[in-house]
A and B are shown apart, each in its own frame.
Chain A
Amino acid sequence: MSTLAEQRTAALNTPAQRIRKPFPLRQLVAYLILGIGSVFLVAPFVWILQAAFGETSKAFVIPPLWLPVNPSLDNFVSAFEQVPFHLFTWNTLKIAVAVTAGQLITCSLAAYAFARLQFRGKNVLFFLLLSSLMIPSQVTLVPTFIIMRQLGLYNTHASLILPALISPFGVFLLRQYFLTIPAELEDAARVDGASVFTIYWRIILPLSGPVLTTLAILTFVAQWNSYIGPLIYINKIELQVITVGLTLMRGRFGEGALGPIAAGLFMAVVPVLIVFLLLQRYIIKSVVTTGIKT
Chain B
Amino acid sequence: MQAVPTAAPAASYNILKRREAMIAYLFIAPTLIGFLVFVVGPMLIGIGISFYKWNLLTPPVFVGLDNYTRLFSGDPRLGTIYGTTVRLALLVITCNVGLGLFFAILLDRKMPDLLRNFFRLSYFFPFVVSGAAVAIIWTFLFNKDLGPLNYYLRLLGVSERINWLLSSTWSPVAIIITDVWKNVGFYVLVFLGGLQGISRDYYEAAEVDGATGWQQFRSITLPLLTPTILFLLVISVIGALQIFDQPNILTQGGPGDATRTIVMYIYEQGFKFFDMGYASTLALSLFVIILILTIIQFRLSRRWVFYQ
* Separation of A45 and B137 alpha carbons in the complex (Å): 8
Q: Is B34 a contact of A119 with CB atoms below 8 Å?
A: no
Selected contact of B136 from candidates A42, A138, A261, A284, CB within 8 Å? A261
Q: Is A40 a contact of B181 with CB atoms below 8 Å?
A: yes
* Separation of A280 and B117 alpha carbons in the complex (Å): 11
**What residues of chain B lie closer than 8 Å to A243, measured between beta carbons?**
130, 132-133
* Separation of A142 and B38 alpha carbons in the complex (Å): 12
* Separation of A250 and B249 alpha carbons in the complex (Å): 10
Q: Is A265 a contact of B46 with CB atoms below 8 Å?
A: no
Instruction: Select from chain A the residue with minimum beta-carbon distance to B145.
Output: A62
* Separation of A16 and B211 alpha carbons in the complex (Å): 12
**What residues of chain B lie closer than 8 Å to A147, measured between beta carbons?**
37-38, 41-42, 45
Residue from A143, A261, A289 having most chain B Cβ neighbours under 10 A: A143
Q: Does A79 contact B (CB under 8 A)?
A: no
Q: Is A143 a contact of B23 with CB atoms below 8 Å?
A: no
Instruction: Select from chain A the residue with minimum beta-carbon distance to B282.
Output: A142
Q: Is A149 a contact of B56 with CB atoms below 8 Å?
A: yes
**What residues of chain B lie closer than 8 Å to A283, measured between beta carbons?**
128
Q: Does A239 contact B (CB under 8 A)?
A: no
* Separation of A273 and B119 alpha carbons in the complex (Å): 16
Comparing A1-9, A25-33, A69-77, the segment that makes contact with chain B is A25-33
Q: Is A135 a contact of B39 with CB atoms below 8 Å?
A: yes
Selected contact of A294 from candidates B128, B276, B294, CB within 8 Å? B128
Q: Does A197 contact B (CB under 8 A)?
A: yes
Q: Does A87 contact B (CB under 8 A)?
A: no
Instruction: Select from chain A the residue with minimum beta-carbon distance to B105.
Output: A30
Q: A109-B30, A166-B30 are in contact. Are A272 and B129 (CB under 8 A)?
A: yes
Q: Does B32 contact A (CB under 8 A)?
A: yes
Q: Which residues of A222-260 are within 8 A (CB) of B?
A: 224-228, 232, 243-244, 246-247, 250, 254, 258
The count of A-to-B residue pairs whose CB atoms sit within 8 angstroms is 260
**What residues of chain B lie closer than 8 Å to A261, measured between beta carbons?**
136, 140
* Separation of A147 and B106 alpha carbons in the complex (Å): 50
Q: Is B130 a contact of A227 with CB atoms below 8 Å?
A: yes
Interface size class of A (residues with CB under 8 A): 35 or more
* Separation of A269 and B126 alpha carbons in the complex (Å): 10
Q: A38-B123, A168-B35 are in contact. Are A33 and B106 (CB under 8 A)?
A: yes
Q: Is A288 a contact of B193 with CB atoms below 8 Å?
A: yes
Instruction: Select from chain B the residue with minimum beta-carbon distance to A21.
Output: B110
B257 to chain A, nearest CB (A): 18
Q: Is B137 a contact of A141 with CB atoms below 8 Å?
A: no
Q: Is B119 a contact of A140 with CB atoms below 8 Å?
A: no
Selected contact of A62 from candidates B42, B111, B140, B151, CB within 8 Å? B151
Contact with B along A61-104 (1 / 0, CB 8 A): 11110000000000000000000000000000000000000000
Instruction: Please give me the 7 A-B residue pairs with the lowest Cβ-Cβ distance, nearest first.
Output: A225-B130, A166-B34, A140-B42, A143-B42, A117-B24, A243-B132, A113-B27
Query: What are 20 pairs between A and B in contact, CB < 8 Å?
Result: A43-B148, A117-B27, A120-B21, A128-B35, A132-B35, A134-B238, A135-B39, A142-B279, A143-B45, A144-B42, A200-B27, A227-B130, A227-B245, A228-B245, A232-B267, A261-B136, A268-B130, A284-B124, A291-B235, A293-B183
List residues of A whose CB falls within 8 A of some B CB: 15-16, 19-20, 22, 27, 30-31, 33-34, 37-38, 40-45, 47-48, 60-64, 105-107, 109-110, 112-114, 117-120, 122, 125, 128-129, 132, 134-136, 138-147, 149, 162-163, 165-166, 168, 171, 196-197, 200, 221, 224-228, 232, 243-244, 246-247, 250, 254, 258, 261, 265, 268-269, 272-273, 276, 280, 283-284, 287-289, 291, 293-294
